């Protein structure tokens, strides 16, 4: 079945970087797009960026443009999210999600990873 | 960026009630709107895509409507399992954005 499995929780110091992985299984990885969403404690959902698994094209939300990098590895069916220059405001649960196209219609977020808690603390 | 507002922010209703949540966009987004349900500590779960299409496996008591700037999510008969926070999301243009959420609980 369709699965997105994310890497485990992280604790990082301010100014450091973090990389979260999202391994896909149960479907042809390269034909999908993946996006990342985060959720600070007790807050709503915030869209961060999207990557095309086939060609690696990316689009970032402007607020993350200069410190967020999405990559993918088609040999391991894994998408990576690297966020640099961390501050306490980046403490959140980070989710990856899959988008599919059915009958020419884009369907966003039809499958999600379990979430990865990133805590930024000195 | 396209801003989404949701109303109400919280909703308390009885089992069996019909409830409606509204999502308004600051710009026209055609029908590029999704609805999600999220339980505490879990990932969001897609309910509706393209404003009115029921995702496979989602109970038919959920329905969506609207286009342009105003959208609604309706639960025709509220069930105890429906206690959650509901979010709308536009995917008409980047950055995709979410509404602030509507928390639903049972009276």
For A23-85, the DSSP string reads EEESS-GGG-EEEEEEE-TT---EEEEEEETTT--EEE-GGGTTTEEEEEETTTTEEEEEE-S
A46: tokens are 């915030």
Establish if B46 touches chain A: CB-CB under 8 angstroms: yes
Q: What is the pLDDT of residue A105?
A: 86
Cβ distance B86 to B10 under 8 Å?
A: no
Q: What is the pLDDT of residue A104?
A: 85
Mean pLDDT over B90-104 rounds to: 97
Contact B96 A50 (CB under 8 A): yes
Neighbouring C-beta atoms of residue A110, cutoff 10 Å: 18
B97, burial (CB in 10 Å: exposed 0-12, middle 13-18, buried 19+): buried
- List chain A residues with CB under 8 Å of B98: 37, 44-47
Q: How far is CA B43 from the centre of its chain?
A: 15
Mean pLDDT over B74-94 rounds to: 97
Rg of chain B over Cα atoms, rounded to whole angstroms, equals 13
- List chain B residues with CB under 8 Å of A97: 43-44
Place of tokens 């985060």: A38
Give me the residues of chain A with pLDDT under 70, please. none
Q: What is the pLDDT of residue A96?
A: 98
- List chain A residues with CB under 8 Å of B91: 106, 108
Establish if B87 touches chain A: CB-CB under 8 angstroms: yes
Q: What is the pLDDT of residue A61?
A: 97
Give the three-class secondary structure for A29: helix
Cβ distance B38 to B99 under 8 Å?
A: no
Closest CA to A31 of A82, A71, A74: A74
Give the three-class secondary structure for A114: coil
Rg of chain A over Cα atoms, rounded to whole angstroms, equals 14
Q: What is the pLDDT of residue B97?
A: 98
The Cα–Cα gap between B104 and B107 comes to 10
Establish if A38 touches chain B: CB-CB under 8 angstroms: no
């Amino acid at each position: 079945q369709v699965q997105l499995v994310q890497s485990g929780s992280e604790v990082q110091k301010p100014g450091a970087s973090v990389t979260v992985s999202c391994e896909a299984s149960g479907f042809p990885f390269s034909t999908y797009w993946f996006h990342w969403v985060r959720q600070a404690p007790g807050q709503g959902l915030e869209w961060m960026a999207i990557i095309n698994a086939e060609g690696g094209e990316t689009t970032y939300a402007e607020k993350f443009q200069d410190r967020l990098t999405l990559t993918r590895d088609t040999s391991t069916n894994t998408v990576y999210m690297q966020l640099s220059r961390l501050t306490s405001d980046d403490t959140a649960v980070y989710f990856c999600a899959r988008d599919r196209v059915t009958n020419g219609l884009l369907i966003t977020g039809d499958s999600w990873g379990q979430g990865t808690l990133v805590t930024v603390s000195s | 960026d396209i801003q989404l507002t949701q109303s109400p922010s919280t909703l308390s209703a009885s089992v069996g009630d019909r409830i409606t949540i509204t999502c308004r966009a600051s710009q026209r987004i055609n029908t590029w709107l999704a609805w999600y349900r999220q339980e505490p500590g879990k990932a969001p779960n897609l309910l509706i895509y393209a404003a009115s299409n029921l995702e496979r496996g989602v109970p038919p008591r959920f329905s969506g409507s609207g286009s342009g700037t105003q959208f609604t999510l309706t639960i025709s008969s509220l069930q105890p399992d429906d206690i959650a926070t509901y979010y709308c999301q536009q995917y008409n243009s980047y950055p995709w954005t979410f509404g602030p959420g509507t928390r639903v609980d049972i009276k």
